[in-house]
């Protein structure tokens, strides 16, 4: 597969990416583990069919110490016994936050309340920001048909 547009060759695309990456850096100081953030990014990318983001975030998760078995089970997190209640709450929030059109009313009060049992306000803000940003990256990459497979850990800083 070949990309429809060179993201780094287009001044507009490069500027857009720069700002999206900057927004992601604002989330980093929040008290959320890197592996939890990566699990959320992986699940959202699975839903959206973004191969490039799956390539990036599975490799980054492994580099951060995530267990490969858990990565293989992210798509089946409801049935898998390897996730904590907090991780399940984050993954459920990620799914509903990604499938907004399917839910009719967006994220349900029940899902939000469950997440709020496990995460404080700053952590919830970080989760919401992570979900929103990975959705933006997914859409950019899927629309432009960015190929997957060649990413190496730390490639984008």
Domains of the chain plus CATH, in order, are 31-144 (1.20.1290.10)
Query: Is pLDDT above 90 for 13?
Result: no
Mean pLDDT rounded to a whole number for the chain = 92
What per-residue confidence (pLDDT) applies to 138?
Answer: 97
pTM above 0.75, yes or no: yes
Q: Are 71 and 62 in contact (CB under 8 A)?
A: yes
Burial classification of residue 144, based on how many CB atoms lie within 10 Å of its CB (0-12 exposed, 13-18 middle, 19 or more buried): middle
Mean pLDDT of the region 47-57: 97
CA distances for 29 relative to 24, 26, 123, angstroms: 10, 7, 10
Higher pLDDT, 156 or 36: 36
% the chain with pLDDT above 70: 99
């Amino acid at each position: 597969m070949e990309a429809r547009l060179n993201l780094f060759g287009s001044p507009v695309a490069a500027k857009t990416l720069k700002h999206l990456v900057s927004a992601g850096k604002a989330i980093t100081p929040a008290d959320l583990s890197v592996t939890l953030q990566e699990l959320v990014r992986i699940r959202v990318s699975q839903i959206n069919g973004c191969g490039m983001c799956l390539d990036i975030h599975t490799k980054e998760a492994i580099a951060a110490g995530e267990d490969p078995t858990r990565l293989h089970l992210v798509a089946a997190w409801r049935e898998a016994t390897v996730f904590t209640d907090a991780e399940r709450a984050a993954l459920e929030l990620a799914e509903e936050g990604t499938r907004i059109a399917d839910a009719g009313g967006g994220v349900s009060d029940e899902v939000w309340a469950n997440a709020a049992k496990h995460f404080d306000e700053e952590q919830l803000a970080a989760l919401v920001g992570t979900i929103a940003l990975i959705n933006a990256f997914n859409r950019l990459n899927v629309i432009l048909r960015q190929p997957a497979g060649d990413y190496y850990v730390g490639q984008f800083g």
